Amino acid sequence: MDDVKRILQQVASGRLSVEQAEEQLSGISRLDYATLDLARSARTGFPEVVYGEGKSASQLVGIMERLREHQKLVLVTRASEQQADKVRKRWPDVQYIAEARLLLSTKELLVPERDGYVAVVAAGTSDWQVAQEAAWTARCFGSEVKVIVDVGVAGIHRLFQRLEEIRGASVIVCVAGMEGALASVLAGLVDKPVIAVPTSVGYGASFGGVSALLTMLNSCANGVAVVNIDNGFGAGYLAGMIHRQSAQPQ
């Protein structure tokens, strides 16, 4: 309510155009090629995120421009190096986290805002990129994140070596390709939610990640839920959300 009043006052005083006011009141900003959801942060606790794949560089710039006006943090997923170059030419302050294919525009440094941390545990070196995407997304939620890589079940003592660190986390993201068995093993050893991300790492009958996906959905250990294949972003998002809810502000 106060928001409405404040907006109208800004219009009255000329500090806000009619169009801008309409956007803020409706929570919607329209471009020719996009309908931006400015109310998302209020509704879901996190601002609209842009899916980079398949968007032209100019569309991306257009969308980011509009969002930067309204959001403290603008995140673009699946951004290619080409897209990143174009965007960073326009705004050199935008960060490109290449290993996670993320473009990150933020007015403040990302610092841990609460106790505890999220653990991102990846089975193999090849799951690196997806793990990083999850880690950086959770960091955008103000979570501290620890990444633990290459502790797959073929050498299970590697997992045990890191177990205390993993058990200390508030939420665990488990990233694995091939047969994806790590999620079940992990969930049987911890008392925290495990968000499992199947990756498309593998060949032959891994069918682009379907093998790991099915494994994770059928986990005999409890406390596991699954996101789409290679969807590190989705897992990091959910982990951040759970951590935010479970932890005390620092």
Residues 29-58 that bind a copy of itself (CB under 8 A): 33-37, 39-40, 43-46, 48-49, 51, 53-55
For a copy of itself, the closer of residues 24 and 219 by Cβ is 219
Between CA 224 and CA 173 the distance in angstroms is: 10
Q: Which of 244, 49, 233, 47 is nearest to 144 (CA)?
A: 244
For a copy of itself, the closer of residues 94 and 172 by Cβ is 172
Position 67 contacts a copy of itself (CB under 8 A): no
Q: What minimum distance in Å lies between the beta carbon of 239 and a copy of itself? A: 9
Q: Which of 195, 173, 187 is nearest to 120 (CA)?
A: 173
Residues in the chain: 250
Query: Which residues inside 154-173 make contact with a copy of itself, applying CB under 8 A?
Result: 154-158, 161, 170
For a copy of itself, the closer of residues 105 and 231 by Cβ is 231
The 10 Å Cβ neighbour count of residue 91 is: 14
Q: Pattern 199-218, binding to a copy of itself, x per CB under 8 A? A: -xxxxxxxxxxxxxxxxxxx
Residue corresponding to tokens 């106060």 = 2
Select from 59, 80, 95, 106 the one that contacts a copy of itself (CB under 8 A). Answer: 59
For a copy of itself, the closer of residues 14 and 33 by Cβ is 33
For a copy of itself, the closer of residues 40 and 68 by Cβ is 40
Q: Which amino acid is at 57?
A: A
Q: Which of 25, 47, 35, 7 is nearest to 141 (CA)?
A: 47
CA 218 remoteness from chain centre: 24
Between CA 12 and CA 205 the distance in angstroms is: 64
Q: What minimum distance in Å lies between the beta carbon of 88 and a copy of itself? A: 21
For a copy of itself, the closer of residues 146 and 158 by Cβ is 158
Select from 10, 27, 91, 113 the one that contacts a copy of itself (CB under 8 A). Answer: 27
Position 238 contacts a copy of itself (CB under 8 A): yes
Read off φ and ψ for residue 53, nearest 5 degrees: -55, 130
Q: What minimum distance in Å lies between the beta carbon of 48 and a copy of itself? A: 7
The 10 Å Cβ neighbour count of residue 126 is: 16
